[in-house]
């Protein structure tokens, strides 16, 4: 009887591996169509790498805000503005699947409870790691913070460079896109809004 080899017991292909395989197949087709020799050594593992990278960069699609926050909501009487500024993010634009790279500033006015500070960054990542347009991402972050905290107001400002505007198309490398979403007290009171904008302004 022939000796058994580990290949006789292939690992069951899990859902994630199946997705990697399918995406890698599509990437290989793209490489070939670009005129590349997909058999050359440097490209041997590229389809799989690209597949894994794309799944990583879009993992926010499978994540829920509630899980990202966990139990990190704390009772607090503090009703002063809380601001976390300069939260870096990387996303992909939904039109070209090219990177959007920038920073998010978040402010909110607590109303009985505050959110663990790192959770604001987790909320940013959750909405950045998917195919996006900047305006929608800005709004989604604000809504998530508002729902999680029950705040009296939320302010979100996003400043970003779009590689689809820099590396191709109009090729404006220096341009920066700024979007914002203000709710509650930030929307109603110019003084509150200005306080936030002053706190997050650079310099």
Counting contacts by CB under 6 A, is residue 162 touching ligand GTP?
yes
Tell whether residue 154 is a contact of ligand GTP (CB under 6 A).
Answer: no
String of b and e for 120-148 (b: at least 16 CB within 10 Å)? Answer: bbbbbbbbbbbbbebeebbbbbbbbbbeb
Q: Does 165 bind ligand GTP (CB under 6 A)?
A: yes
Binding mask 157-176 for Zn ion (x = CB under 5 A): -------x------------
Out of 18, 40, 90, 95, point to the residue binding Zn ion (CB under 5 A). Answer: 95
Distance, CA of 194 to CA of 175 (rounded, Å): 24
* Binding-site size, ligand GTP (CB under 6 A): 10
Least separation in angstroms between CB 60 and Zn ion:
18
By CB under 6 A, residue 101 contacts ligand GTP: no
Rounded CA separation 123/102 (Å): 15
Strands 177-182 and 113-115: unpaired
92 binds ligand GTP (CB under 6 A): no
Query: Which residue among the candidates 111, 143, 164, 195 is catalytic per the annotation?
Result: 164
Q: Cα angle at 179 between 173 and 185, to 5 degrees? A: 155
Spatial CB neighbours of 63, under 8 Å, sequence gap ≥ 6: 126, 129
Residue among 36, 96, 103, 139 flagged as catalytic: 96
Contact set with ligand GTP (CB under 6 A) = 93, 95, 133-135, 162, 164-165, 169-170
Q: Which residues are known catalytic residues?
A: 93-96, 134, 162, 164
């Amino acid at each position: 009887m022939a000796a058994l080899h580990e290949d006789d017991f292939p690992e069951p292909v899990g859902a994630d591996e199946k997705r990697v395989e399918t995406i890698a197949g599509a990437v290989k087709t793209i490489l070939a169509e670009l005129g590349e020799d997909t058999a050359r050594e440097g490209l041997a593992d590229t389809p799989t790498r690209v597949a894994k990278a794309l799944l990583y960069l879009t993992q926010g699609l499978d994540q829920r805000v509630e899980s990202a926050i966990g139990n990190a909501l704390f009772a607090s009487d503090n009703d002063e503005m809380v601001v976390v500024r300069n939260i870096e993010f990387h996303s992909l634009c939904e039109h070209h699947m090219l990177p959007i790279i920038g920073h998010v500033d978040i402010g909110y006015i607590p109303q009985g409870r505050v959110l663990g500070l790192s959770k604001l960054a987790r909320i940013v990542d959750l909405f950045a790691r998917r195919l996006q347009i900047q305006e929608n991402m800005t709004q989604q972050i604000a809504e998530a913070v508002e729902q999680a905290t029950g705040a009296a107001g939320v302010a979100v400002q996003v400043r970003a460079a779009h590689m689809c505007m820099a590396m191709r198309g109009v090729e404006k490398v220096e341009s920066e896109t700024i979007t914002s979403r203000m709710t509650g007290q930030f929307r109603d009171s110019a003084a509150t809004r200005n306080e936030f904008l002053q706190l997050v302004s650079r310099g």
